[in-house]
Chains A and B, each alone.
Chain A
Amino acid sequence: MNARLRRRLGNASTYLVLLLVMAFFLLPIFWFIETAFKPRVLTFAIPPVWFFQPVIENFVAVFKQVPVLAYLRNSVVIATGATALAVCLGVPAGYGLARHPGRSSNALALGLLIVRMVPPVAMLLPFYLLMRNFHLIGTYWAVILLDAVLNVSFAAWFMRGYYQGIPPSMEEAAYCDGATGLGAFIRVALPLGFPGTVTIGLLSFIASWNDFLMAMLLTARTTRTLPLGILETYHTYEITWNLMAPISLVAVIPVLILGFALQRYYVAGLTLGAVRE
């Protein structure tokens, strides 16, 4: 049958294109994972060596040189804190901006966004002095606050766009039922916006997790994060891939696991539309 054959061809070509796309995105990662398990002498062998006896000596070496687990803990604390703060402040802000469109709402949205438009380098040293005055240098809070400040506008923006695509019909139904603005938000809008919230939470988490510019100036020995650990393996006079690859791998895996676990939420197939009586 013509339709079925067309559908099969369509599916096959989809798979093919996706395969090419995945190859493009995954091959460099594959190289990088391989490097973590490669003996040092083979790292840049020409022609490139793809099959070899994997070793764990690189992991052993980097764990000895860098307190990886401590940095992992610090990264978790900071990223979680910054994300929680950004989401708690940003999601309601985005909702409000979406449900009250107009000139001043646009101005507010722009105002929030301004922060993200400033090159972070410009803010770093003054922020360092500010944190010094608050006696927060070297605590988790210094980095959490700065990361949250940068992520909150992204959160508000993203959720604003997300909620703009959802008609307020369901909330208006809740109003008819006698709910307050806040009630409608908590009971209706929040669940509706859950996939968006999860997405923005994940993105904020990743941004905070991977930052090194802020962490470089604002952390102390006890609050150093994984990206700084990665930089530590970057000797001034030599790039030690055999150390950098394993620690970078350790830095990536938690985030990947998080993304996989949250899959279900940000692709929840919601069907919005008409409110049934």
Chain B
Amino acid sequence: MRHLRHFVPVLVLLAVLGTAAAQGQSQYAGATLNVSVESDQYSAAMQALAPDFTKETGIKLNVSILGYSEIYQRAIADFVGHTDQADLYTTDIVWSCEFAQNHYTEDLTSLIKRDAAELKTDDILPVMWTLGSCDNEQIAFPLVGYAGVLAYNKAAFDAAGLQPPTTVKQLVSDAAAFTKNGKYGIVMNGARGSPSAQDYMFYMLMTGGSLLDANGKPQLNSAANVAALKLYASLFQYAPPGAVSYSWGDRVTSFGNGNAMMMMDFSAGLDYLKPGKFPVSGKAAITTPPVTEGMKPVYPFGGWGIAINADSRQKGAAWDYIKWLSRPDIRKRFVELGGQPIRTSTLTDPAMVKAYPYFPVLLKAFQNGNGDFRPRIPEYPQIENAVGLAVNLVINNQETAQAALDAAQTSVEPLFK
């Protein structure tokens, strides 16, 4: 009888803990997290999932969606001014080392190691870690991975009896074959700045070029890069005339309207594969990008990580949110709501593959993905700007590829002294 008296408080305690565990209430219940998310197809998913997180853990989320320019400037102003405007930021892959070297966001390495089992880190595709890694730090956790893919008008290819190109030579010949009767073989982003720079970098990767040499120093005007730029510029003869000033939205419209038969793209939204959004919906497909013959396949990789503000006073709660977002079952719902996958399990789950038949393409692209074709260094904005100008000058026939890239190289060299 005396033992029973001792048991009761323990039983009560266990009951309380048990209930709490069943509710999943986090030790941070009652806290509010401010999350700044970049505006893209996955942002709606972040917003939609927020109430579920609150229900499970009791932590409230204020999700703000901001345009690309805005989130970058706000983040920097926030970090530099130490104003703690947001606890979490989505971070572009190219900001990785800028944020790491300035200690703007928390290094998550130890947390990831500690919670590796819970996170099932082996399930996360290796390339995904480049979304926030710099040297030995991990300043952002993978959130959405974008694979570089080749989108093509399957109906048109089938009608012509062609298979989508797997080599660069085939790409060029296919583009030429479709350019007739007011239609075009391929479409690119020619607009000055980020659009043309990033588009060119896709083609640079598939011909073996690289913006940085083995020592991390710029080699914008290497022979391979110049050849890639010549190739890129030559493709514009198979593109709609306005392509020289296209940005991503224009490119998607051109492809989506069935005006151009191919385009290289990031798998950020793949809206042209979804029914009812574009005239080509249902007639388009994606495949891995072509590579130069004899080259080991390597595909562009990009995307966004989610990082914890170094000035945040709720890092514990923020880390709980990141862990929750990466849970395999949540990831599945995330994809259904418009997000992009980071886990092998998501990409190989039979139900998911049935709903998204292009998943095997993404898986292959991720497994051979290169997240560094756009250098993830603090000087990236200036490199991108220099390359963007060079590309735009060349496609407008105002400079030769060699001269343009030489000038670009000269303009960025002072940054690396």
Contacts and interface: CB of A to CB of B under 8 A. Distances in A.
Contacts of B265: 237
A240 B277 CA distance: 11
A236 B68 CA distance: 6
A135 B332 CA distance: 42
The binding surface of chain B is classed by DSSP as: mixed
The binding surface of chain A is classed by DSSP as: mixed
Interface string B226-258: 000000000000000000000111101100010
B83 A238 contact: no
Contact of B279 (A41, A66, A236): A41
Nearest to A220: B85
A231 B41 contact: no
B40 interface: yes
A238 B39 contact: no
A129 B38 CA distance: 24
Interface string B58-95: 00001011111110011001000101010000000000
Contact of B77 (A125, A221, A224): A125
Interface stretch (B207-215, B268-276, B308-316, B353-361): B268-276
Given A65-B44, A65-B47, A236-B248, A217 B77 contact: yes
B62 A233 contact: no
A45 interface: yes
Contacts of A129: 81
Given A45-B257, A217-B74, A236 B62 contact: no
Contacts of B34: 221
A137 interface: yes
A44 B257 contact: yes
A145 interface: no
Given A44-B253, A231-B70, A221 B279 contact: no
A66 B62 CA distance: 13
Contacts of B203: none
B62 A235 contact: no
Contact of A216 (B74, B248, B257): B74
Nearest to A128: B77
A12 interface: no
Nearest to A125: B77
B70 A235 contact: no
A238 B249 contact: yes
Given A44-B257, A221-B62, A232 B77 contact: no
Contacts of B250: 239
A217 to B, nearest CB: 6
Interface string B9-45: 0000000000000000000000000100011110010
B85 A235 contact: no
Given A128-B81, A237-B266, A238-B248, A41 B276 contact: yes
Nearest to A133: B81
Contacts of B278: 41
A144 B387 CA distance: 39
Most chain A CB neighbours (cut-off 10 Å) among B38, B41, B65: B65
Nearest to A137: B83
Contact of B40 (A40, A45, A216, A237): A237
A237 B81 CA distance: 30
Contact of B41 (A46, A132, A235): A235
Nearest to B257: A44
A217 B66 CA distance: 11
B70 A216 contact: yes
Contacts of B39: 231-236
A218 to B, nearest CB: 9
A166 B265 CA distance: 62
A115 B62 CA distance: 36
A239 B189 CA distance: 13
A237 B268 contact: yes
B277 A40 contact: yes
A113 interface: no
Contacts of A228: 66-67, 70
Interface string A204-221: 000000000000110011
B65 A232 contact: yes
Contacts of A66: 65
A138 interface: yes
A233 B70 CA distance: 12
A66 B249 CA distance: 20
Interface in A1-55: 40-41, 43-46
Given A41-B277, A216-B73, A236 B40 contact: yes
B384 to A, nearest CB: 14
Nearest to A132: B81
Given A44-B257, A129-B81, A237-B268, A221 B64 contact: yes
Contacts of A45: 257
Interface string A229-266: 00111111111100000000000000000000000000
B257 A232 contact: no
Contacts of B269: 235, 237-238
B275 to A, nearest CB: 11
Nearest to B37: A232
15 contacts: A40-B276, A65-B44, A132-B81, A216-B69, A217-B74, A220-B85, A224-B64, A231-B69, A234-B67, A235-B41, A236-B67, A236-B268, A237-B268, A239-B248, A240-B249
Given A132-B83, A237-B40, A239-B249, 7 more contacts: A43-B253, A216-B74, A233-B39, A237-B265, A237-B266, A238-B249, A238-B252
Q: Which A-B residue pairs are the 10 nearest by beta carbons? A: A239-B249, A231-B67, A237-B268, A236-B68, A221-B64, A237-B248, A216-B70, A232-B65, A44-B253, A132-B81
